[in-house]
Amino acid sequence: MLKILGEPKRCEIIRLVWSDELGASEIASHFPGVTRSAISQHLGVLRRSGLVHERHAGTRRLYSVNRGEVAKLKDFIDSFWTNSLEKLRDLAESDQQAKGNQCAPTP
């Protein structure tokens, strides 16, 4: 998933469909220097990864973010942050204990 979102256009597509369901043409219109075929390929990658839903409405394909998958990805990333904070806390506590166990210098 991180590799998929490492492509800036895919991140921007996720932002575009975060709160609104958009058609492929509407999404493509936000990328004037990119072919519709390229945007379609990006949408396919996002759909296959589960990060976006695709819904057919007549001849249109509408895309929206899959918040459940994005939440899983967020939780995964947050776990690194939480583990790092726990390690930092443990180091600070052990440093504090070491300082507390030191004898005060005699005058």
Question: pLDDT digit string (tens) for 91-106?
Answer: 777 767 776 655 555 5
- The rounded Cα 94 to chain-centroid distance in angstroms is 34
Q: What is the pLDDT of residues 1-45, one digit of tens each?
A: 888 988 999 999 999 999 999 999 999 999 999 999 999 999 999
Return the pLDDT at 74. Answer: 87
For 15, phi and psi rounded to 5 degrees? -60, -40
The residue extents of the domains of the chain are 2-66
CATH of domain 2-66: 1.10.10.10
**77, two tokens:** 């990333």
- Determine the Cα angle at 69 with ends 67 and 73, to 5°: 110
Q: Using CA atoms, how far apart are residues 104 and 16, in angstroms rounded to an integer?
A: 62
The predicted model scores a pTM of 0.72
Whole-number Cα distances in Å, 57 to 11, 63, 80, 86, 100: 24, 11, 40, 48, 68
